[in-house]
Amino acid sequence: MSRVLTGIQSSGKPHLGNLLGAISPAIELAESQSEPAYFFIADLHALTSIRDPSQLQGNTYAVGATWLACGLNPDKHVFFRQSDVPEVTELAWYLSCLTPYPMLANSHSFKEKSANLAEVSAGLFTYPVLMAADILLYQAELVPVGKDQKQHLEITRDIAGAFNRTYGETFKLPEPVFREEVMVLPGIDGRKMSKSYDNTLDVLGDLDELHKRVKRIVTDPTPVAAPKDPEKCTVFRLYASVAPAAAVEEMRQRYLAGGYGYGQAKEALFEALRERFAPQREAYREWRSDPSALERVLQIGAEKARSTAVQTLGRVRQAIGLLSLSKPTLS
Protein backbone atom coordinates (compact mmCIF):
# COMPACT_ATOMS: atom_id res chain seq x y z
CA MET A 1 0.00 0.00 0.00
CA SER A 2 1.15 3.57 -0.69
CA ARG A 3 1.57 6.72 1.37
CA VAL A 4 -0.82 9.46 0.28
CA LEU A 5 -0.06 13.16 0.79
CA THR A 6 -1.95 16.28 -0.12
CA GLY A 7 -2.30 19.86 1.01
CA ILE A 8 -4.40 22.95 0.38
CA GLN A 9 -3.24 26.54 0.64
CA SER A 10 -4.75 28.69 3.35
CA SER A 11 -5.25 31.56 0.92
CA GLY A 12 -9.01 31.45 1.49
CA LYS A 13 -11.88 29.26 2.66
CA PRO A 14 -12.22 26.08 0.55
CA HIS A 15 -15.05 26.16 -1.99
CA LEU A 16 -17.06 23.60 -3.95
CA GLY A 17 -14.25 23.02 -6.42
CA ASN A 18 -11.81 22.29 -3.60
CA LEU A 19 -14.23 19.91 -1.88
CA LEU A 20 -15.02 17.88 -4.99
CA GLY A 21 -11.70 18.15 -6.77
CA ALA A 22 -9.25 17.79 -3.90
CA ILE A 23 -10.57 17.19 -0.38
CA SER A 24 -13.15 14.42 -0.89
CA PRO A 25 -11.13 12.35 -3.38
CA ALA A 26 -7.99 12.70 -1.24
CA ILE A 27 -9.82 11.40 1.83
CA GLU A 28 -11.32 8.54 -0.20
CA LEU A 29 -7.89 7.61 -1.54
CA ALA A 30 -6.36 7.76 1.95
CA GLU A 31 -9.04 5.49 3.36
CA SER A 32 -8.24 2.91 0.68
CA GLN A 33 -4.66 2.59 1.94
CA SER A 34 -3.51 0.71 5.02
CA GLU A 35 -0.90 3.23 6.06
CA PRO A 36 -1.66 6.70 7.47
CA ALA A 37 -1.90 9.51 4.93
CA TYR A 38 -0.43 12.99 5.36
CA PHE A 39 -2.70 16.03 5.03
CA PHE A 40 -1.37 19.53 5.58
CA ILE A 41 -2.54 23.14 5.52
CA ALA A 42 -0.11 25.01 3.27
CA ASP A 43 0.14 28.28 5.19
CA LEU A 44 3.73 28.95 4.08
CA HIS A 45 2.63 28.87 0.46
CA ALA A 46 -0.17 31.31 1.28
CA LEU A 47 2.42 33.93 2.26
CA THR A 48 3.05 34.55 -1.44
CA SER A 49 -0.34 36.29 -1.62
CA ILE A 50 -1.47 37.13 1.94
CA ARG A 51 0.08 39.86 4.07
CA ASP A 52 -2.60 40.14 6.78
CA PRO A 53 -1.74 37.94 9.82
CA SER A 54 -5.32 37.71 11.07
CA GLN A 55 -6.53 36.75 7.60
CA LEU A 56 -3.89 34.05 7.33
CA GLN A 57 -4.81 32.60 10.71
CA GLY A 58 -8.53 32.71 9.93
CA ASN A 59 -7.99 31.00 6.59
CA THR A 60 -5.84 28.34 8.24
CA TYR A 61 -8.59 27.43 10.68
CA ALA A 62 -11.18 27.54 7.90
CA VAL A 63 -9.18 25.04 5.86
CA GLY A 64 -8.59 22.83 8.90
CA ALA A 65 -12.28 22.85 9.83
CA THR A 66 -13.23 21.99 6.26
CA TRP A 67 -10.99 18.92 6.11
CA LEU A 68 -12.32 17.64 9.42
CA ALA A 69 -15.93 18.40 8.49
CA CYS A 70 -15.51 16.46 5.26
CA GLY A 71 -14.47 13.30 7.07
CA LEU A 72 -10.72 13.40 7.62
CA ASN A 73 -9.92 11.21 10.62
CA PRO A 74 -7.02 12.81 12.56
CA ASP A 75 -6.65 9.72 14.74
CA LYS A 76 -5.91 7.55 11.71
CA HIS A 77 -4.08 10.03 9.50
CA VAL A 78 -1.49 12.78 10.01
CA PHE A 79 -3.14 16.21 9.80
CA PHE A 80 -0.96 19.25 10.42
CA ARG A 81 -0.05 22.84 9.59
CA GLN A 82 2.86 23.18 7.19
CA SER A 83 4.64 25.88 9.21
CA ASP A 84 4.67 23.68 12.33
CA VAL A 85 7.29 21.45 10.67
CA PRO A 86 10.35 23.70 10.13
CA GLU A 87 12.27 20.86 8.49
CA VAL A 88 10.35 21.56 5.29
CA THR A 89 12.02 24.93 4.77
CA GLU A 90 15.47 23.45 5.42
CA LEU A 91 14.84 20.75 2.84
CA ALA A 92 13.55 23.35 0.40
CA TRP A 93 16.94 25.09 0.53
CA TYR A 94 18.84 21.89 -0.18
CA LEU A 95 16.54 21.10 -3.10
CA SER A 96 16.77 24.64 -4.47
CA CYS A 97 20.53 24.17 -4.85
CA LEU A 98 19.80 21.39 -7.37
CA THR A 99 16.95 23.14 -9.19
CA PRO A 100 17.92 24.87 -12.47
CA TYR A 101 16.66 28.39 -13.12
CA PRO A 102 14.90 27.51 -16.42
CA MET A 103 12.77 24.90 -14.65
CA LEU A 104 11.38 27.52 -12.29
CA ALA A 105 11.10 30.16 -15.00
CA ASN A 106 8.89 27.78 -16.99
CA SER A 107 6.62 27.05 -14.03
CA HIS A 108 3.10 28.32 -14.66
CA SER A 109 2.92 29.80 -11.14
CA PHE A 110 5.71 32.16 -12.23
CA LYS A 111 4.80 32.65 -15.89
CA GLU A 112 1.28 33.80 -15.00
CA LYS A 113 2.78 36.89 -13.35
CA SER A 114 6.04 37.26 -15.24
CA ALA A 115 4.67 40.14 -17.33
CA ASN A 116 5.05 42.33 -14.23
CA LEU A 117 8.18 41.14 -12.45
CA ALA A 118 7.84 43.82 -9.78
CA GLU A 119 4.95 41.77 -8.40
CA VAL A 120 6.90 38.50 -8.36
CA SER A 121 8.51 37.64 -5.04
CA ALA A 122 11.31 35.15 -4.57
CA GLY A 123 8.79 33.03 -2.72
CA LEU A 124 6.50 32.86 -5.72
CA PHE A 125 9.43 32.03 -8.01
CA THR A 126 10.61 29.17 -5.78
CA TYR A 127 7.07 27.99 -4.99
CA PRO A 128 7.61 24.64 -6.82
CA VAL A 129 10.69 23.89 -4.71
CA LEU A 130 8.80 24.30 -1.46
CA MET A 131 6.04 22.13 -2.90
CA ALA A 132 8.67 19.49 -3.74
CA ALA A 133 9.94 19.65 -0.17
CA ASP A 134 6.37 19.22 1.11
CA ILE A 135 6.08 15.96 -0.80
CA LEU A 136 9.58 14.50 -0.53
CA LEU A 137 10.02 15.20 3.18
CA TYR A 138 7.36 12.60 3.97
CA GLN A 139 8.36 10.12 1.22
CA ALA A 140 4.91 10.39 -0.34
CA GLU A 141 4.07 7.95 -3.12
CA LEU A 142 0.60 9.11 -4.23
CA VAL A 143 -0.29 12.80 -4.50
CA PRO A 144 -3.85 13.80 -5.46
CA VAL A 145 -3.53 16.91 -7.64
CA GLY A 146 -5.66 19.04 -9.90
CA LYS A 147 -4.78 19.72 -13.50
CA ASP A 148 -3.21 23.05 -12.55
CA GLN A 149 -0.75 21.29 -10.20
CA LYS A 150 0.35 18.57 -12.61
CA GLN A 151 3.41 20.54 -13.74
CA HIS A 152 4.52 21.16 -10.17
CA LEU A 153 4.43 17.45 -9.43
CA GLU A 154 6.51 16.79 -12.53
CA ILE A 155 9.01 19.33 -11.20
CA THR A 156 9.02 17.48 -7.88
CA ARG A 157 9.86 14.24 -9.64
CA ASP A 158 12.64 15.95 -11.62
CA ILE A 159 14.15 17.47 -8.48
CA ALA A 160 13.97 14.17 -6.60
CA GLY A 161 15.57 12.37 -9.53
CA ALA A 162 18.40 14.91 -9.67
CA PHE A 163 19.03 14.50 -5.94
CA ASN A 164 19.04 10.71 -6.18
CA ARG A 165 21.47 10.75 -9.11
CA THR A 166 23.78 13.18 -7.33
CA TYR A 167 23.75 11.82 -3.79
CA GLY A 168 22.33 8.31 -4.03
CA GLU A 169 18.81 6.92 -3.69
CA THR A 170 17.14 9.04 -1.04
CA PHE A 171 13.67 10.02 -2.21
CA LYS A 172 10.75 8.10 -3.63
CA LEU A 173 9.34 9.47 -6.88
CA PRO A 174 5.71 10.45 -6.22
CA GLU A 175 2.92 9.63 -8.64
CA PRO A 176 0.03 12.02 -9.36
CA VAL A 177 -3.56 10.92 -8.84
CA PHE A 178 -6.21 12.66 -10.96
CA ARG A 179 -9.98 12.61 -10.80
CA GLU A 180 -10.92 13.49 -14.35
CA GLU A 181 -14.63 14.19 -13.89
CA VAL A 182 -14.05 17.08 -11.48
CA MET A 183 -10.64 18.19 -12.68
CA VAL A 184 -11.96 21.58 -13.80
CA LEU A 185 -15.21 22.68 -12.16
CA PRO A 186 -16.78 25.88 -13.56
CA GLY A 187 -17.37 28.90 -11.37
CA ILE A 188 -20.43 31.14 -11.43
CA ASP A 189 -18.98 33.13 -14.36
CA GLY A 190 -18.22 30.05 -16.45
CA ARG A 191 -14.46 30.19 -15.93
CA LYS A 192 -12.61 27.71 -13.75
CA MET A 193 -13.83 27.99 -10.16
CA SER A 194 -11.12 29.89 -8.32
CA LYS A 195 -10.81 32.25 -5.37
CA SER A 196 -8.73 34.55 -7.54
CA TYR A 197 -11.71 35.03 -9.88
CA ASP A 198 -14.21 35.47 -7.03
CA ASN A 199 -16.50 33.02 -8.80
CA THR A 200 -16.71 30.32 -6.15
CA LEU A 201 -19.55 28.67 -4.24
CA ASP A 202 -19.07 28.40 -0.47
CA VAL A 203 -21.21 25.35 0.27
CA LEU A 204 -20.28 25.21 3.97
CA GLY A 205 -21.14 28.79 4.77
CA ASP A 206 -24.31 30.88 5.02
CA LEU A 207 -27.16 29.41 2.96
CA ASP A 208 -28.65 32.79 2.04
CA GLU A 209 -25.33 33.89 0.61
CA LEU A 210 -24.97 30.59 -1.25
CA HIS A 211 -28.45 31.08 -2.73
CA LYS A 212 -27.49 34.56 -3.96
CA ARG A 213 -24.32 33.22 -5.56
CA VAL A 214 -26.19 30.43 -7.32
CA LYS A 215 -28.68 32.92 -8.77
CA ARG A 216 -25.73 34.92 -10.16
CA ILE A 217 -24.48 32.04 -12.32
CA VAL A 218 -24.05 33.31 -15.87
CA THR A 219 -26.34 31.73 -18.48
CA ASP A 220 -27.15 32.43 -22.15
CA PRO A 221 -30.30 34.27 -23.35
CA THR A 222 -32.12 31.17 -24.61
CA PRO A 223 -35.89 31.58 -23.92
CA VAL A 224 -37.57 29.36 -21.34
CA ALA A 225 -39.66 27.60 -23.99
CA ALA A 226 -36.69 26.70 -26.20
CA PRO A 227 -34.60 23.50 -25.86
CA LYS A 228 -31.16 24.01 -24.29
CA ASP A 229 -27.81 22.26 -24.51
CA PRO A 230 -27.03 20.95 -21.00
CA GLU A 231 -23.36 20.37 -21.75
CA LYS A 232 -22.82 24.08 -22.48
CA CYS A 233 -24.59 25.27 -19.33
CA THR A 234 -22.63 26.04 -16.16
CA VAL A 235 -25.71 25.42 -14.00
CA PHE A 236 -26.18 21.93 -15.38
CA ARG A 237 -22.47 21.06 -15.12
CA LEU A 238 -22.45 22.08 -11.45
CA TYR A 239 -25.68 20.19 -10.81
CA ALA A 240 -24.22 17.07 -12.42
CA SER A 241 -21.26 17.22 -10.03
CA VAL A 242 -23.40 17.07 -6.87
CA ALA A 243 -26.83 15.57 -7.64
CA PRO A 244 -27.79 11.86 -7.85
CA ALA A 245 -27.49 10.31 -11.31
CA ALA A 246 -31.27 9.93 -11.73
CA ALA A 247 -31.86 13.60 -10.91
CA VAL A 248 -29.12 14.66 -13.32
CA GLU A 249 -30.70 12.65 -16.14
CA GLU A 250 -34.10 14.14 -15.36
CA MET A 251 -32.71 17.67 -15.62
CA ARG A 252 -30.93 16.76 -18.85
CA GLN A 253 -34.20 15.67 -20.44
CA ARG A 254 -35.91 18.87 -19.29
CA TYR A 255 -33.18 20.95 -20.91
CA LEU A 256 -33.54 19.07 -24.20
CA ALA A 257 -37.35 19.19 -24.20
CA GLY A 258 -37.65 22.94 -23.59
CA GLY A 259 -40.08 24.69 -21.29
CA TYR A 260 -37.53 24.55 -18.48
CA GLY A 261 -35.84 27.82 -17.50
CA TYR A 262 -32.42 28.51 -16.10
CA GLY A 263 -34.08 29.98 -13.00
CA GLN A 264 -35.67 26.61 -12.28
CA ALA A 265 -32.34 24.88 -12.83
CA LYS A 266 -30.62 27.26 -10.42
CA GLU A 267 -33.18 26.53 -7.72
CA ALA A 268 -32.63 22.80 -8.22
CA LEU A 269 -28.87 23.34 -7.98
CA PHE A 270 -29.20 25.28 -4.74
CA GLU A 271 -31.35 22.56 -3.20
CA ALA A 272 -28.86 19.90 -4.29
CA LEU A 273 -25.99 21.85 -2.71
CA ARG A 274 -27.97 22.48 0.47
CA GLU A 275 -28.86 18.80 0.92
CA ARG A 276 -25.58 17.29 -0.26
CA PHE A 277 -23.44 19.24 2.18
CA ALA A 278 -25.81 19.59 5.16
CA PRO A 279 -23.81 17.26 7.48
CA GLN A 280 -20.50 18.85 6.51
CA ARG A 281 -21.95 22.33 6.99
CA GLU A 282 -22.99 21.54 10.55
CA ALA A 283 -19.66 19.88 11.37
CA TYR A 284 -17.80 22.86 9.92
CA ARG A 285 -19.70 25.27 12.16
CA GLU A 286 -18.86 23.18 15.21
CA TRP A 287 -15.14 23.13 14.47
CA ARG A 288 -15.04 26.86 13.71
CA SER A 289 -16.80 27.60 16.99
CA ASP A 290 -14.04 25.83 18.96
CA PRO A 291 -10.62 26.93 17.61
CA SER A 292 -8.82 25.50 20.65
CA ALA A 293 -10.04 22.00 19.77
CA LEU A 294 -8.90 22.49 16.19
CA GLU A 295 -5.52 23.74 17.38
CA ARG A 296 -5.06 20.64 19.55
CA VAL A 297 -5.70 18.41 16.54
CA LEU A 298 -3.13 20.31 14.46
CA GLN A 299 -0.48 20.20 17.19
CA ILE A 300 -0.86 16.45 17.64
CA GLY A 301 -0.56 16.04 13.88
CA ALA A 302 2.53 18.25 13.78
CA GLU A 303 4.30 16.00 16.30
CA LYS A 304 3.61 12.97 14.11
CA ALA A 305 4.70 14.79 10.96
CA ARG A 306 7.92 16.03 12.54
CA SER A 307 8.83 12.49 13.57
CA THR A 308 8.90 11.49 9.91
CA ALA A 309 10.43 14.78 8.77
CA VAL A 310 13.39 14.56 11.14
CA GLN A 311 14.22 11.05 9.94
CA THR A 312 14.13 12.07 6.27
CA LEU A 313 16.12 15.23 6.83
CA GLY A 314 18.75 13.30 8.76
CA ARG A 315 19.31 11.04 5.76
CA VAL A 316 19.43 14.05 3.46
CA ARG A 317 22.01 15.86 5.58
CA GLN A 318 24.21 12.78 5.68
CA ALA A 319 23.87 12.26 1.93
CA ILE A 320 24.97 15.80 1.05
CA GLY A 321 27.84 15.88 3.54
CA LEU A 322 26.36 17.81 6.45
CA LEU A 323 27.33 15.15 8.95
CA SER A 324 26.18 16.89 12.12
CA LEU A 325 22.62 15.73 12.71
CA SER A 326 22.11 18.10 15.64
CA LYS A 327 21.74 21.84 15.42
CA PRO A 328 24.67 23.86 16.78
CA THR A 329 23.93 25.90 19.91
CA LEU A 330 24.97 29.54 20.12
CA SER A 331 27.25 30.52 22.99
Active site residues: 113, 192, 195
Tell me if 176 sits within 8 A of 168, measured CB to CB. no
Q: Which residues, in sequence order, are CB contacts of 309 under 8 Å at separation 6+?
A: 85, 87, 88, 137, 138
- In single-letter form, the type of residue at position 6 comes to T
Nearest residue to 239 (alpha-carbon basis) of 260, 225, 209, 208: 260
Three-state secondary structure along 153-218? HHHHHHHHHHHHHHHCCCCCCCEEECCHHHCCCECCCCCECCHHHCCCCCCCCCHHHHHHHHHCCC
3-state secondary structure of 290: coil
3-state secondary structure of 106: coil
